[in-house]
Structure 1
Amino acid sequence: MTPRKYSSPLRRAEAERTRLAILDAAAALFSSEGYPATTKKGIAQEAGVSVQSVHLAGSKAALLVAAFERTFAGDEGRHSLSERPQIAEIMSRSDPEDAVRGWLDYVAQANARTAGLVRAMTVAAETDALAAEAVSDLEARRRSDIGLAAGWLVERGMLSGDEIEQATDELNHLVGPETYAFFVTRSGWHEERYRRWLEVTLRGLLERWRGALEASPAARPPRARRAAAPP
């Protein structure tokens, strides 16, 4: 007779609470103590759970990435940032200017929340092969999310499709955690100054992209394109 697997909503809910407690504890310790000094025993003590529960939750590198995802976006997982409710709501706004401001607010706040975790990931990637692989995957997913944002600009008529690859690189640099760390952590900027800089810089990029879009042959009426063509 095959043993019956026992499962219940209460048990699943308890397991979920335990995992969230572990991830929140991991985020706090990785941010304050750094990657090398943080141990699974310390995470267990901070979370109020057993060390075995932390072992079952994943490797140290996996916990670091999951803690970053939860702290940055509110939950963990490989699904696109555009599928998260807050970003989906921002991208669905009818006013593009309002959507851009909302996106920058989200990015600025998320970078502030995860600054310590980004420092931990930088160190982890230098000393732990599994962490380096996980961080590389996370960076690739971030660029993919930024590419979706650039695609959104194309759909709204704010960027030429021909410019999408370069625009993705520029946006990735603009809103990336490394740029936040340079200005806020190392240069001592306060959060409000960083947020203003984000908006001013993005406005400059949007103006440049809009100018290039308007100057492109595809944006001209057929008669104007014929007049501009060489004899």
Structure 2
Amino acid sequence: MPRTYSSPTRDEDARRTREAIVRASAKLFARDGYGKTTMADIAREAGVSVQTVHLAGPKAALLIAAFEVSFAGDEGRHGLSERPALVEIMARPSLDDALRGWLDYVARANDATASLVRAMTVAAETDEFAAAAVADLTMRRRADLGRAAQWLTSRGLLAEGDREQATDELNHLVGPETYAFFVTVSGWSPERYRAWLEDAVRARLARWNPGASSAGQASVLR
């Protein structure tokens, strides 16, 4: 059996190289779009060879990796609820603090990835890998929001029977498409969008939890 060899230094170099490639991909896809960005462009921006970029994955895969890192801070299919920042937010004793923290996180993530979402839409029209990846991201986003609806249920703010509809409504309210409509298309500032988002989510909470305790309502709706 051949012996395997692992070098911490080599592994760290590989990690830094990939990080540089993904970071360069995010910048160029957001600035120039999917069609105009080439692997050679990414290589120049990252300071590596074109061959190294190709070894990091096909163009569409780099786009998806760029989105994941820009949106959530790292690559991978694990849900938002597993990421340390969200774990801390959702564990806050105050419902109001947790809600505001969650909305801040979502608004910042949408702001950071709006241009990449447009690039992914374009890529999905012509690239089968991109189309499948976008479909997977859509499914994962709904699963994340389903867990958010479950969190609302556990806090007494949502009836069990309303969870599926609440998941769909949250998906619409906090989705990147809604952000793009208000900020990119309508010209709203990110701050105006964030204020609208909180008003909209709180309005839905008021409709979802008529049977919740007065104390619970006062905490999250004040």
TM over 0.5: yes
Deviations 1:72-117 (A, max 9, x none): 0000000111011101100111111110000000000000000110
Correspondence list, 1:2-17, <5 A: 2-17=1-16
| Aligned mates of 1:4, 1:202 — CA distance in 2 | 56
Aligned length: 213
- Cα displacement (A) at 1:60: 1.0
Q: Is 2:118 the partner of 1:150?
A: no
Q: Is 2:34 the partner of 1:35?
A: yes
Structure 2 partner of 1:189: 188
Q: Match of 1:76, SS? A: coil
Deviations 1:131-173 (A, max 9, x none): 1111000110011001000000000000001000000000000
Structure 2 partner of 1:93: 92
Residue identity opposite 1:119 in structure 2: R
| Aligned mates of 1:91, 1:76 — CA distance in 2 | 21
Structure 1 partner of 2:70: 71
TM-score by length of 1: 0.90
| Aligned mates of 1:132, 1:194 — CA distance in 2 | 28
Deviations 1:205-231 (A, max 9, x none): 0100111x359xxxxxxxxxxxxxxxx
Deviations 1:154-194 (A, max 9, x none): 00000001000000000000000000000000000001110
Residue identity opposite 1:74 in structure 2: G
- Cα displacement (A) at 1:6: 2.9
| Aligned mates of 1:93, 1:169 — CA distance in 2 | 25
Q: Tell me, which stretches of 5 or more residues in structure 2 are unaligned?
A: 214-222
Q: Match of 1:192, SS? A: helix
- Cα displacement (A) at 1:129: 1.4
TM-score by length of 2: 0.93
Q: Is 2:167 the partner of 1:176?
A: no
Higher relative contact order (CA 8 A, sep 6+): 2
| Aligned mates of 2:88, 2:49 — CA distance in 1 | 38
